[in-house]
Structure 1
Amino acid sequence: MAPVDEARTAGQPGLRERKKRETRVALSQAAIRLCVLHGWGNVTVDQIAAEADVSVRTFRNYFAGKAEAIAASHLERMLRVADDLLARPAGEGLWDSLLHAVLGQFVPPDNSASQNERWRQGVRLMLAEPALAGEIVKANAAAQQELARAIAQRTGTDTERDVYPKLVASVVAAGSAVAVEHSLRADGSVQLGAVLAQVFEQLAAGLPVP
């Protein structure tokens, strides 16, 4: 086989995986959008598939139901946090890098949706749905595992030998979740970015007593 053919063949699995990941993201975002706007009980898998412009069969190839589809967005976001962490300058402090990575994925460039009370209320109701809780736990466990790998690579530690990367990953996941919940329950003037900055400032300082 010619070298160019080898390179093309070697690149195909990456392309397929990228396309699959894009489809997963599209389905997950469609599920979130519909459930936030119309309510959990008023959204079907058929509607989610139509919103994402795919067949119901395609949806079933990726997710068992809408709860799993929604939880997938959390895992995807934390995967991007891990990628962003590894892309930060090597000389930057770990907690500064983590804050930048989290802000880049948790705070959209356009904050209009987060300032819309109807949207915020819809998100609160969706996250309170009992059917979603178990899938969020599973997605969070997978997210922490991937983030721990990135932290280990960044700090020169090992996820099997050292407790540090797993500990930091779990703290980042918990701190981010606290910030999201706090901003959703506060009035509209409380911005998620500001809460995240406060959370990471406290974490970097070792959680001193106020």
Structure 2
Amino acid sequence: MVEEEASGLRERKKRETRIALSRAAIRLSIERGWDNVTVEVIAAEANVSVRTFRNYFANKAEAVAAGHSERALRIADALRARPSDEPLWDAIADAVQSQFAAGERAGAESDDDRRWRDALRLMLAEPALQGEVVKANAVAQSALAAAVAERTGTDATRDVYPQLVAAVIGAGSAVAVEHCLRADEPISLAQVLREVFDRIGAGLPVP
């Protein structure tokens, strides 16, 4: 029992360090520009050594992309926590919103907000990052499929359904984020996510 608790604590500490490094990499890359951020700078921001950084990530792009797979893990956990009798797509919509739009601020977009949005869009266009995002998508889809399988009584590896739903969750979330990033005027990500998953849940009827 003691060994299990110690093992659980170590894993939690590792995940916390991984999250801290990923968040530092994202924040610094947006604030300073992709080419102006090094592994050394990220490690210092997270208050760890470069060696520790290398224990978790091979490079800066991998650290940034890890934020995507980490969010998917949180969405999966949030989905598991939804009431068992809640319709699947309602539960998914709430789980996704809770993780994507939790930090969204209400009110008019400030100049700082606009600069942040523009810098985020530039960062996501980096070729080095896009390759790592593809890898993170695979991890994300696996985590989401497992949660969907548990909720629907299907098998995440043998059945098509949970994999299909997981892929749709990823695609719908990506469309919502891209829509908000490219909008001329600020749009609530929470509202766009709700619209996306309402439409998916309704079977994507023609508007």
- Cα drift, residue 47 of structure 1: 0.6
Give the corresponding residue for 1:138: 135
Task: Kindly indicate whether the alpha-carbon contact (under 8 Å) linking 1:117 and 1:188 is maintained by their aligned counterparts in 2.
Answer: no
Measure, in 1, the Cα distance between the counterparts of 2:119 and 2:188: 17
- Corresponding residue number in structure 1 for 2:19: 25
Distance 1:182 1:102 in 2: 16
* Aligned equivalent of 1:98, options 92, 99, 104: 92
Moved more, 188-197 or 131-140: 188-197
CA distance in 2, matches of 1:91, 1:58: 44
The residue matched to 1:64 in structure 2 has which SS?
coil
**CA displacement at 1:60 relative to structure 2:** 0.7
Root-mean-square deviation (Å): 1.5
2 CA distance for matches of 1:14 and 1:99? 30
- Counterpart residue number, 2:66: 72
Equivalent residues in 2 for 1:82-93, closer than 5 Å: 82-93=76-87
Q: How does 1:1-210 map to 2 (within 5 A)?
A: 7-111=1-105, 115=109, 116-210=113-207
Name the CA distance, whole Å, in 2 between partners of 1:74 and 1:175: 14
TM-score normalised over the length of structure 2: 0.95
Please state how far the C-alpha of 1:111 moved relative to its aligned partner.
1.8
User: What are the Cα deviations for residues 38-61 of structure 1, in whole angstroms up to 9, with x where unaligned?
Assistant: 100011111101111111111011
The gaps in structure 2 that reach 5 residues or longer are none
Q: Is the 8 A contact 1:40 1:126 kept in 2?
A: yes
Q: What are the Cα deviations for residues 22-76 of structure 1, in whole angstroms up to 9, with x where unaligned? A: 0000000000000001100011111101111111111011101100000000000
Match of 1:4 in 2: none
Question: How far is 1:21 from its partner?
Answer: 0.3
Which whole-Å CA distance do the structure 2 matches of 1:178 and 1:109 have between them?
A: 19
- Percent identical pairs in the alignment equals 64
Matched letter for residue 92 of structure 2: L
Name the SS of the counterpart of 2:41 in structure 1: helix
Measure how far apart 1:109 and its partner are: 3.7
Q: CA deviation at 1:150?
A: 0.5
Q: Which structure 1 residue ranges, 4+ long, deviate > 6 Å from structure 2?
A: none
- Which stretch shifts more, 184-193 or 63-72? 184-193
Letter in 2 for 1:29: R
- TM-aligned CA deviation for residue 108 of structure 1: 2.3
Structure 1 letter corresponding to 2:197 = F
Aligned equivalents of 1:32, 1:188: Cα separation in 2: 23
Look up the SS of the partner of 2:84 in the other structure: coil
CA distance in 1, matches of 2:118, 2:196: 23
CA–CA distance in structure 1, aligned partners of residues 148 and 16 of structure 2: 25
Shift, 1:160, TM fit: 2.8
3-state secondary structure, aligned to 1:34: helix
Give the AA of the match of 1:165.
Answer: P
Q: Which amino acid aligns with 1:15?
A: L
Amino acid at match of 1:184: L
**Residue type matched to 1:186 in 2?**
A
* Alignment coverage as a number of residue pairs: 204
